[in-house]
Amino acid sequence: MLKFSSLVAAGLAVGLSFGANAGTLEDVKKRGMLSCGVSTGLAGFSQKDEKGEWSGLDVDVCKAVAAAVLGDASKVQYKPLTAKERFTALQSGEIDILSRNTTWTHTRDTSLGLNFAGVNYYDGQGFMVSKKLGVKSALELDGAAACIQAGTTTELNLADYFRANGMKYTAVTFDTSDQTRAGFESGRCDVLTSDQSQLYAIRIGLKDPDSAMVLPEVISKEPLGPVVRQGDDEWFNIAKWSLVAMIEAEFLGVDSANAADMKDNGKPAQKRLLGTEGDAGEKLGLSADWAYNIVSQVGNYGESFERNVGMGSPLKIARGINEQWNKGGFLYSPPIR
C-alpha cells in the first residue's frame, strides 16, 4: 500500500506543478527579483557589458517593471534566451516577462497562451549584403543564399517575399544572432536578413562594418514588444502600463532629471503619472510612486531610446516611426487617468 500511496502522491505533485498560474505579482514580490527573458546578445536591445551589466531598449522594459513592482530597477535577474527557447521559457514560468525583440503576431497572441503588453519598437525586416556583391535592391537577390535566425518571423517573411516575387533562394538558419553574423562573414550566404534594427546592430559587430550595406527594402511589419503569460490579468496590466508610463512620461515632458521636481510642482497630468494625484498605482496593485520610480531610475522612452539605440549609441538609429504621435511617429500612449 505504501508504494501505491506514494505513487498517487507523486502523481498529484506532478499534476499540481503544472498549475501554479495566477499571482505573478505576488511571486515577484516574494522573490524580491524580477526574472526577465532577454536575447543572447543584441547591441542596443539587450546586451551584457564586460562587467556583466545588462543594458538596452528591451532591458529597460525589464528595469521599468522591476522599478514599478519592487521600487528598484536593479532587481532584475536576466535570462538570455535564443529565439527558439523564448516562448517555452515564458509558458513554463521560468521567466515573469519576456522582453526580447519579439514580434507581435496573431499566432503568438492566440495560440501560445501569451499576451503582448504593447510595442516598444516598431521595426520591419530588411536585408544586409556585402558591398562586393554589387546588389542595389532586394529584387536582384534571385538565387541567393540567405542567413537567418531560426524560429523567427523573419524566416516566414523571407519565404513569403521570395515566393511573391517569383525568386529562388536558399535558407541557411542559425541559432543565435552571433552565429548568423559569423555565417554571413564567412561567406556562407550572400545576404543576411533580419529586423532592420538588428541589421544595424549586427553590422557594427562585423570585422569591417563598411564592407556591408543595408538594402532599402523593408518587407514586413515587425511590432516588437514585451510579452507575458495569458491568464494573469493583474500582471498583464502591470507590464502594459509600465511601458505606457515610459512613453507617456516622454509625451508629458517628464524625464529622469525633472521627475522629482514635477512630482510636487507639475501639471495635473504629470502629477497623476508621478503619483502625487490620483490612485493609478493603487489600481494596479502597486505603490503610488510606481511610475515615479520608473522615470527617475530608468528614464522616459525618449531617454531610453537615445541612450541605447539612438544618437547617444553606436547604432545611431533615427527615431523615425518610433517618435511620439505629435512628432510624426506611432507612439500614442493611452492617458493615465
Partner 1 sequence: MSEEIRAKASSAGSMLNNPRVRAILYQALLLFGLGYFFYSIVSNALNNMEARGIKSGFDFLFTASGFDILMTLVPYSATSTYGMTFVVGLLNTILVSIVGIFFATVLGFLIGVAYFSNNWLIKRLSVVYVETFRNIPLLLQVFFWYFAVLASLPSARESLSLGEVIFLNVRGLYLPDLVGGAGSSIVYGSIVVAIAAIVFLKKWAKKRQDDTGEQFPVALTSLGILLGLPLITLFIMGVPFTWDFPELKGFNFRGGITVIPELMALTIALSVYTGAFIAEAVRAGVQSVPHGQTEAARSIGLRENRIMSLIIVPQAMRVIVPLLNSEYQSLVKNSTLATAIGYPDLFTVFVGTSLNQTGQAIEIVFMTMAVYFVINMTISFLMNRFNASVALVERK
Contact positions toward partner 1, by CB under 8 A?
Answer: 1, 3-4, 7-8, 10-12, 14-16, 18-19, 21, 83-84, 87-88, 91, 107-108, 110-113, 133, 141-145, 150-152, 155-156, 158-160, 163, 169-175, 179, 182-183, 186-188, 190, 229-231
What minimum distance in Å lies between the beta carbon of 165 and partner 1? 13
Is the Cβ–Cβ distance between 72 and 66 less than 8 Å? yes
What minimum distance in Å lies between the beta carbon of 18 and partner 1? 4
Cell 505573478 -> residue: 24
What minimum distance in Å lies between the beta carbon of 237 and partner 1? 17
Of 158 and 252, which CB lies nearer to partner 1 in the complex structure? Answer: 158
Three-state DSSP class for 292? Answer: helix
Tell me the β-bridge partners of 169. 144
Of 179 and 287, which CB lies nearer to partner 1 in the complex structure? Answer: 179
What minimum distance in Å lies between the beta carbon of 164 and partner 1? 11
CA distance 279 to 276: 9
Q: Alpha carbon 81 to chain centroid distance?
A: 12
What minimum distance in Å lies between the beta carbon of 116 and partner 1? 13
Terminal alpha carbon distance of the chain: 61
Report in angstroms the alpha-carbon separations of 221 from 33, 170, 260: 34, 23, 38
What minimum distance in Å lies between the beta carbon of 15 and partner 1? 4
Of 145 and 288, which CB lies nearer to partner 1 in the complex structure? Answer: 145
Of 182 and 318, which CB lies nearer to partner 1 in the complex structure? Answer: 182
Of 15 and 52, which CB lies nearer to partner 1 in the complex structure? Answer: 15
Of 5 and 326, which CB lies nearer to partner 1 in the complex structure? Answer: 5
The DSSP secondary-structure symbol of 324 reads B
Nearest to 196 by CA among 161, 173, 224, 174: 224
Handedness of CA 139, 121, 103, 146 (dihedral sign): positive
- The conformational region for residue 173 under phi > 0 = left, psi -120 to 50 = alpha, else beta, is beta
